Every structure is written in C-alpha cells, then in structure tokens.
Amino acid sequence: MNPVNSQAITMTKKQAQEVTETVQKTMPTEQRVSDLEDTAIYYYWNGGQLKKNEKKVFKGVTIKSNFDVIEQLFKEAIKIDPQNLNLQMDLASTYRMQNNNAAAAKMWQNILKKDRTNFDARLKLAAFSKVTGDTATYDDNIAKLQAQNAEKTATFTKAFSQIDEIGKLDIQTKIPNDLPKDSHHYFVVLGYALSPNGKMQPTMKKRLEIALKAAKKYPKSKILVSGGVPENKLTEATVMQKWLVAHGIAKKRIELEDLSTNTVENALFSVRELVDRGATSA
C-alpha cells in the first residue's frame, strides 16, 4: 500500500465485531450457500465419496445414500440462510425423492407460513393432498391457487383430472388384433437397468417377451428399443437388440435409441426417432 494515499482508522472492538458480522452476512454467506447447493447438485447427478464426506463434512451424520448427502447439504445451507425459501423447496424435493412424503408436506406447510403466496409450495401440497385422499386440504389449496392465478391453476387441475382418468384405464396385457399391418408401424420397448456386468434383469426380459410376441403377430412392424445407460460397455438398447435377434427377429427390423438415461428421455428420444424414421403409428 502506498503510505501517501493511506489513512489511519481507529476502530473499537465493538465496531470490529459489527464489521465482522456484516461481512459474514453478505458475500461469505452467499458463497457458502452457493457451494452447498453446487455440492448437492453434484451428488444428485454423480454421487460421491460418502464415507469421506461423512467424516470431513457431516461430522458423524450417518450417510446411507446420496440422498442423505443431498438432504444434509440443504439442511446446512438453510442453517446459514433460513429465509431462503428456494433452499427449503429443494429440501422438500429431496424428501420426496426419498419417499418421505410427510417431511416434504411439513416443509411445504412451513414455506407457506412464511409466504402465503408461494404458488409452487401450495401446488405441491395440493397434489400431495390429492394423492393421499385428503380432499378437504386439496380443495382448500386449489381454491387459494385459483384466487392467486386462475389460468395457471386450471392447467394443473386439468392435469390432475387426466391422471384420474388414466388411473381408471385397464393395462393392456394382450397383443391387440387391430393394429396397423405395415412397415410404418413400430413397437417401442423401453429399457430397464442392466446389472453391473451388462446382463438383463427379469423386468427387461418380460418386456422383450411381449415385444417378441407382438413382432411375430405383426411381421411387417418394426421395433424400436430404447435405453442408453451403459453397463460393462453395453447399453440397454444393444442388449435388447441382441436378445431379439437371438430369438428370430431380423436385425433390419430393429431400430436403436441408445442415448436416453431415464424414462422421460425414453419417451422424448423415442418420439424423435419415430418421427425421423417416418413412423405413422406406434
């Protein structure tokens, strides 16, 4: 520092403490919260060294899964910034991913105590109430949502109604007799997680057995196998293709979608593949 431009400042111990507290409440706090959020997101997507973090980060908290890590990270972030409702929404979502619905509902209720206009928290509480059969709580929250944003609420109530209708449908367990009998019709087989050595699980085999029956009943139809999570250098789609070929289905009838990593991507990527291949029905 240039002494010509410097200026001596006298500061009492109390003033120094006030400055320290001010600094702790600004950038360092935001940075700490941000670091915890980033770490939680990393664990959600990638996992981590659980035992190492149990010792170095969580000081004895028993960690049984990555969700335990994520939960603890959000709790620590909330301790630092208790007014951050986004962090509390994230913690509620973590509870939901662990099927701890009661804890998630309590978190949404706590958020609404602090912010009665929090649309997302009220919507999630309404949805939870509907699933659990608590009609009174559902109706009460939907009424409040409608008063807040009628158009947006209508979108969700329509979706809830559609879910109710879907729930009433019978699952088709037999190959229908009235499907299109041409090469522009596809059967889509969704993948299922392979074992670590790249072998198929019973669920995948059952799906393939149905697909095989369908392919034999409709010999002009093609098959799209969907699933891209690799195990032992094999994707679900590749394993399914090999099984079908081994059971008499010509390889040229089978198309692969081997990029998807979850059910949502199965659907999105399969539709894209069907469009690209000129499918007229599936």
- With residues binned 3-state (H G I as helix, E B as strand, rest as coil), the percentages for the chain, rounded to 5, are 60, 5, 35
pTM score: 0.54
Render pLDDT for 223-269 as a digit per residue (tens, 0 to 9): 999 999 899 999 999 999 999 999 999 999 999 999 998 888 999 99
**Which pLDDT band holds residue 5 (cuts at 50, 70, 90)?**
very low
Instruction: Report d(CA 103, CA 66) in Å as an integer.
Output: 18
The answer, yes or no, to whether residue 7 has pLDDT greater than 60, is no
Ordered domains of the chain (ranges, CATH)? 13-167 (1.25.40.10), 186-276 (3.40.50.620)
Distance CA 160, CA 143 (A): 15
Distances (CA, A) of 158 to 28, 148, 263: 44, 17, 23
| pLDDT band (50, 70, 90) for residue 116 | very high
**How confident is the model over 187-234, as pLDDT tens digits?**
999 999 999 899 999 999 999 999 999 999 999 999 999 999 899 999
More confident residue, 227 or 55: 227
Q: Which pLDDT score, from 0 to 100, does residue 64 have?
A: 47
Calculated CA dihedral for residues 65, 71, 72, 76, nearest 10 degrees: 160
CA 94 to chain CA centroid, Å, is 10
Selected residue with higher pLDDT from 160 and 6: 160
H runs (alpha helix) in 99-235 = 101-114, 119-131, 135-148, 150-167, 202-217
Residue 222 in tokens:
């093609």
Query: Which tens digits make up the pLDDT trace of 61-104?
Result: 444 456 677 788 888 888 888 999 998 998 998 888 888 999 99
